Each structure stands twice: as C-alpha cells, then as structure tokens.
Amino acid sequence: MTIRDTTVKARVQAEGNAVAQVVLTLQCRTDKPWCRERVTVTHKGETIDSKQVTIEADATRELTLNFRGPAREALRAGPAITLDVQIGDATSHVTVTP
C-alpha cells in the first residue's frame, strides 16, 4: 500500500495569532481496500504535526496541518519554506509558498 503527497497548498494570515495552515493532498494507491500510514511534517527538524491517516483505495484526501510558533513565522515571512513530509518510511521534500 502506498500513500503519496500530490499537492501542497498554504493558507496563511499575514498577522495576529491566527494559525497558519498547510493543506496536503494525499493519494492512496493499493490493491487493498485502503491505505493507512503515519504522516509527519517537519520544518528544520521541528515536528509541525503528525497524524495517522487512512484513505480508501484509489482515493484522495486533504490533510490540514496547523503551524504555530517559529514554523508559522517562517511561513508568513516567505517567500517559501521547505517541509519534509514523511509518509510511512518514505520522505519527500516539498516547497510551500504562502
């Protein structure tokens, strides 16, 4: 079973204490009825969020991650930041532009 990230979008408010959000679109490819993996996102070694994700076979799902603290400020400051997205044993590097 395989879950992979297909797109990444950011929703960022410029000021205040509001949470910055990054939305990962995940896709499941498997011959089983579903995929289940842990998805962990880090920025400069700091874990942003980690969630157990289940997706039906051949389906997509959006996973919203909330950024607080230094990661939120880095996302706001732009122009782009690089995130490490670990899905199961595989890690990919994605660039997010606010």
E strand map for 1-98 = 2-11, 20-29, 34-43, 46-56, 60-67, 81-87, 90-96
Residues of the chain with pLDDT under 70: 1-18, 98
C-alpha to C-alpha distance for 30 and 48, rounded to whole angstroms: 27
What confidence tens digit (pLDDT) does each residue in 42-67 have? 888 888 889 998 988 888 888 888 88
Domains of the chain: 2-96 (2.60.40.10)
What pLDDT score does 5 carry?
Answer: 61
